[in-house]
Structures are given as C-alpha cells and as structure tokens.
Structure 1
C-alpha cells in the first residue's frame, strides 16, 4: 500500500462558462470530462487535465451559481499548483498571465524550484512550478493548444497547499496514516512527500495560528485527492482509515475511479482515488469532454439533467 502522488484537486466556481474559458483558453488545459456532481446532478462538474486525462493532472470544478465570496484562512486547501516543463516556461507564463491582467506575484523560489503564484478571475489561488530539475512522479502528456507552445504547456498538478492553525494533527495523519514522508521546511511551510516524490507527489503545509478559519465560497477548494493503485488496494485503505478513527465515506464508485473520503483533524477533506478505469471508459479519447457524460446510475435522468444545465460553449484547441 502506497500513495502514488496527487490524483486531483476539486474546487468551486460560480460561473461554468467563464471557468471553462479560462482553464482551456488561457491556461491551455484540456476539458476531459463534462459531467455533473454525482451527489447533486443539478450542477456541472468539469475536469481539466493533460492530453489523456491522466491521474495526477486533473483540476476539477463544481459549479455553484448562488455561491458567496471566500474569506481566506486556515483549515483549508489554500493553493493548487500546476507543473510546467522548466524555468523558461515560468517566464513565458509570467508574461502571458500579466497580459491577461490577472493578479500575479513576482517569480519566487521555494524548495529549490522556481514558482509563480497568481489568481484566476474568481480569486482561485494558483501557482506554477518548474520541473526543471524535478525527479519523482512523472508528468502528464502536454495538450497542444492553439497559442501555447507544447514546450511551455502545463503538464500536471504540482504541490497542493494546506493551511492549518497547528501542524501536528495534519502531519500525523499524513505520515502515520497515509505514509507520507516529512521532509524539510522553509519558515512555516512544511513539505511532505508521497510515492516517488517530486512536484507530483508533495503536500506543502502552512502552519499559521494567527489566521481566522476559512469560510469557503467562490474560488475555494473543496478537496484534494491522492492516488492509489486500484480498487483492491483502496479497500485496504478503507480499513486503515477506519482503524485510525477517522470518519469516512467508505468506498464510493465514481465511475471514472473509485474513491474514499475523510476529514483529517484540521477539517481538510481528503480523498483517496484509484488511477483507473479512467475518463475514456464512456467516450473516445479523441473526443473527451465534448458531450455531457453521465454515470450509468444517472443515465435514465439525462433529459431532465440536460434541461436544467446551461450549455457550455466549447472551442477546439
């Protein structure tokens, strides 16, 4: 049993169309699945990823139109980072994001890597991390976008940031329950590694008791998911999480992968998810995300569901 790295991050948007336009047009990611929240099919669930929808590259969004603002703070997944091929790509993205008039911080270095932090139009906290000298979890397959060179394209999820008031309870779950290795720290940012490590296998935990507790809303993150091999191994993880005394969902079949959800002591929602079967289980790889996909148990409600969803205009990259 081993966590292989980051599987996906699921965030919240108020505007599915604008969200789609930003993540496909500006960031050049591929929409690999257009579906609905399986627990509330009245809302979209959009999946952006690499060219093949690989585990470890998925950044997903639930659309909640009536959402309020996020009041940032602790007990949160506070930043999602995305991997780019090298240091030169960071410079390319700095110029591109500035041209979009986004809120962009100066290029910085953290744990020996060049990073660029910025926000999307809804205030979603994002970062780009260079894979220049990266070793560890392999990147995804870059998607060829119309105006982004493949040599600069996003190639997966980088370190996910947790912000907590106290490090110890979260560190205990990461290391003792999930098997992460605690590495080093820079000031109050602590680095944890799973699997082969590297940018695709790290969690960075910011410990800051001076902040208020976050009130999530538009532009916040719902949960982070980590990769496990298959359903058989996930069933073992269910037992381990239960033995650790963590309230959990038990095994949940999400059609594209199987999942287990639980909250760690600082109230951050964590998911363990299998690598497969993958997004091409119900549509061809070359047309992923073009039509509305529904899991089998919702298929008999397709007409009703489609009537309640506002169509999303898509473009071909």
Structure 2
C-alpha cells in the first residue's frame, strides 16, 4: 500500500442513557467532552465525542447514546476492549478513585512492561487503563476529577476478537501498513508508526467466543488515522482495487471517513486528522452547545426537541462555566 495508518483515530460505541455516559467519561475517566452533536445518519440521537483538551486524533472515544437500547453481547467480530494510556504507577490512584464513585475496578495483569486495570462503563462496555513505562508524551486533559499527573494520555490500544485471526492480521499488515510486534498464544499485537501507545491493536483468534451482537455496551467501529482527504482518497482507491467493499467518502464535519469490514467482521473506519473540532466553536467552549452540520441546521428545533436534556459538568469548560 502507498498509504499507511499512523495509528488509532477513535473508537465509537453504543450507549444507553446519555447523562450516565457523560458522567462516567467526564467525571469517572477525566476525559473532556469535545463535541456534542447528533448521529448524522439518525439525528434523533446524540453523537458524543470525548478526548483530550482539543480532541486530537488518538485521544478520542465517541458514543451513540440511544435511550432504551437493548444490551448487546461482547464477542467475536467486534472490538472487545478499549484501552487508554495512563502514567506508570498510577493504577493505585485510579483504583481509589473508582471506589469513591462506586465503580468496580480490577487489576487484570501486572508485569515489568505494563499494568492493566479493567472497568465497565454504565452500559457494560469494557474499558482498560494501561500503565506502562513506554514513552507517551501526549498532554492530558487536567480535569477537576482526575489530576494531570494521573490522567489519561489518549488511546493505548484496542482488542479485536475474531474467529480466524490470520486473515485479520494479514489485512492489517497488507492493507493498513501495520506490523506484527508480538505473538503470544492466540493473541497477536500489531503496531503502526512508532509503536507507541495509541498505535497498537491486539488481535485475538478464538473459536470459543460467542458471536458478538452489536447493541448497547458494545463497540460499533474502530477508526484509524490518515492525515488528510487526499491521502484518504488514494487509500480508498487502493482498498477498492484489492476487493474490499468500501463506502464513499463521508463528511463527518470534523473529519471525513470511509468504512469497510475486515474478514473477521469488525467494522473499520479510516478517518482524517483534519479539520478538527474547533471549526465551529472555540477551544475553551468545546462540548458546551449542540452543534449541527449545515445540512441539519434547518431541522435544529425538531432535533433539539427529540434529544434528551443533558447536563455538562462545569469541569468540562472551567474557564467559561457559569
């Protein structure tokens, strides 16, 4: 391939109650809500974006919160776990923090390389915090709930669970430009670019895992980074020529996207780094008001009446909160 990904752009999952989602990701994980908009394909529900101060690619976790959505099943054909990077030695603080807000956290692994803390969000989505000595120079969002010294730096990695890992790994190497950096049992770790946190994907091959059911508490898709639309267009052409069923380029207002499914069934997106989340509101005010793309503005009143009322904690915009 002439184009290769630089790593993770975002992960998008399905939630239920939007207020519970906001409270967990802002107050629980200490992320910033960088955009409150709607699902462009279903404007009656929100699309909430969380990340670092500016919502930089590689820091983002996004949600479609459908009120009353049925619970899904985490399993084969999905991204089954999303991990965020935190500083080495911080998991003790995080364990105490989760206990204070009534969230159960469980240390799942400790080694000289990394420690992992597993929690579930209000809809049962699996979130891991990975404390590693690997260099992660990304600046955290210094929130009132989570001080910068412990805070999330951005995405660390995602886990894909599939029936036949060889085909998924082959696609990620040949079509995404990633490389295999570790193999252990039925788990293969791939890296893009530097191999730093935010560029990693673990592929697990399992014939025993139940087939995943995409609904509440599951990941909808995983997105990889590309610098700009020109590169994206070239990549789309190459993927199509290789036999993948790729969508047209779709305008997501803050980036453009193409989508296709890898052989194991996981929905992949390739998203541009540009233009970013400050194109329609100032950096200090990100996430405060409902933002709509131009083609939905004529329907603003109907959309505002359809979505649930939500409250954004003052810590999301401390310099302008009133």
Shorter-normalised TM-score: what interval?
over 0.9
The 5 Å alignment of 1:159-178 reads 159-178=157-176
The 5 Å alignment of 1:115-194 reads 115-134=116-135, 138-139=137-138, 141-194=139-192
The 5 Å alignment of 1:248-259 reads 248-259=246-257
Q: 1:10 to 1:89 in 2, by over 3 A?
A: same
* C-alpha contact 1:102 1:121 (8 A) present in aligned 2: no
1:223 and 2:217 equivalent? no
Cα distance in 1 for partners of 2:112, 2:241 equals: 34
The 5 Å alignment of 1:1-317 reads 1-84=3-86, 86-109=87-110, 112-134=113-135, 138-139=137-138, 141-317=139-315
Quote how far apart the aligned CAs of 1:243 are: 1.4
Quote how far apart the aligned CAs of 1:107 are: 4.6
Quote how far apart the aligned CAs of 1:134 are: 2.9
- Structure 2 residue matching 1:88: 3-state secondary structure: coil
Aligned residues: 313
Cα distance in 1 for partners of 2:225, 2:262 equals: 17
Cα distance in 2 for partners of 1:311, 1:70 equals: 25
Cα distance in 1 for partners of 2:223, 2:101 equals: 30
Quote how far apart the aligned CAs of 1:236 are: 0.7
Q: 1:159 to 1:111 in 2, by over 3 A?
A: farther
Question: Tell me, which stretches of 5 or more residues in structure 1 are unaligned?
Answer: none
- Structure 2 residue matching 1:277: 3-state secondary structure: coil
Quote how far apart the aligned CAs of 1:113 are: 1.6
- What residue in structure 1 maps to residue 320 of structure 2? none
* C-alpha contact 1:111 1:186 (8 A) present in aligned 2: no
Aligned-CA RMSD value: 1.4
* C-alpha contact 1:165 1:207 (8 A) present in aligned 2: yes
Question: Tell me, which stretches of 5 or more residues in structure 2 are unaligned?
Answer: 316-322
Quote how far apart the aligned CAs of 1:110 are: 6.5
* C-alpha contact 2:11 2:223 (8 A) present in aligned 1: yes
- Structure 1 residue matching 2:264: 3-state secondary structure: coil
Q: Could you state the TM-score of these two structures normalised by the residue count of structure 1?
A: 0.95
